Amino acid sequence: MPEGVASRHPFFRVNASLHCGPRRLPLDRPLVMGIVNVTADSFSDGGRFHDASIAIAHGERLAAEGADLVDVGGESTRPGAAPVSLDEELARVIPVVKALSAKGIAVSVDTMKPEVMRAASDAGCAMLNDVNGFRAPGALEAAAASGAAICAMHMQGTPATMQSDPRYGDVVAEVRDFLAARARSLEAAGVGRERIVLDPGFGFGKNLAHNVALVKGLGAIVSLGYPVLAGLSRKRMIGEITGRVVAERTAGSVAAALVAVQNGAAIVRVHDVLPTVDALKVWAALR
Ligand code: 7PM
């Protein structure tokens, strides 16, 4: 980022960094988190190694494109996805975490399961990312036992039911208050505030109007004082605004990431790392 940009931006503190185990990620410029899905669409026994090597290669590519960290998920948190057993999630995710971490890449793990959190921490992950906000029994303890950064997300309902008829009085206030309470619980469990990231959870129990209100009102969540992660990439709201299918949502997603950063997001979670990194360079130079 060009000199002076951070100091002119109300949300990027020049000396701040996110503590991720022994690693520090700078918070004086927006960070880009690349998304790596570990799927299991193979049908042979040899498929698991194949799936892992595809995910590892994808993570390496995203890092080469400029991702500051990559988020590895075994698809257990995906709305509408079939439930994934603990053993299956461990088998999908942990080899990928180990391989990417060994290459020096900061790895986030997208999981709701405390056992996966512990194994991922042992495998050297830089962040634990829980769409359930560390509300499962044992999740706060697993977060505290890890040295990794901790990203707590807001979700109304459960992945199976959350999109049926989400309702709020004041969506920004309710999400802000939920995240403030999760941060308090994490700190009470022993997670230092320099490790905590908060996420409004776009699309997780929110309709288009709710998502729009949260982007516009992101400052209320940023003002809690924690780095805020925004995940808008390729989501339904981008499709609703542009009329485009998932494969055609890159430009809309880049625009959404820029607005999120403009409104104070510290980290954007994206599929399309290269165009997002370029767009943020231009944003930083021109803002
Ligand atoms: C189907 C529906 C597939 C939704 C994938 C998804 C977030 C996350 C996800 C987010 C954080 C996606 C989501 N979204 N973690 N995991 N924030 N912290 O679109 O917004 O990637 S899964």
pTM over 0.75: yes
Is position 287 annotated as part of the catalytic site?
A: no
Q: Output the pLDDT for position 40.
A: 74
For ligand 1, atom 15, name the residue with the nearest CA. Answer: 131
Q: Output the pLDDT for position 5.
A: 53
- Distances in Å between the Cα of 117 and the Cα atoms of 47, 97, 227, 246 are 24, 11, 21, 29
For ligand 1, atom 13, name the residue with the nearest CA. Answer: 78
Given a contact cutoff of 8 angstroms between Cβ atoms, the answer to whether 30 and 266 are in contact is yes
Rounded to the nearest angstrom, the distance between the alpha carbon of 78 and the centre of ligand 1 is 7
Give the closest residue to 204 by CA, choosing from 214, 191, 193, 194: 214
CA 252, CA 105: separation in Å to the nearest integer? 27
- Exactly one of 29, 92, 206, 269 is catalytic; which is it? 269
Rounded to the nearest angstrom, the distance between the alpha carbon of 270 and the centre of ligand 1 is 10
Closest ligand 1 atom number to CA of residue 79:
2
For ligand 1, atom 8, name the residue with the nearest CA. Answer: 131
For ligand 1, atom 1, name the residue with the nearest CA. Answer: 78
**Structure tokens that stand for 9 in this block:** 């931006």
Mean pLDDT by 10 residues, the chain (287 residues): 52 79 95 92 63 95 98 78 86 96 98 97 98 98 98 92 90 98 98 98 97 98 97 98 98 98 98 98 96
Q: Output the pLDDT for position 42.
A: 55
Number of H helices, E strands in the chain: 11, 10
Rounded to the nearest angstrom, the distance between the alpha carbon of 231 and the centre of ligand 1 is 7
**Structure tokens that stand for 13 in this block:** 């503190």
Q: Output the pLDDT for position 153.
A: 98
Is position 269 annotated as part of the catalytic site?
A: yes
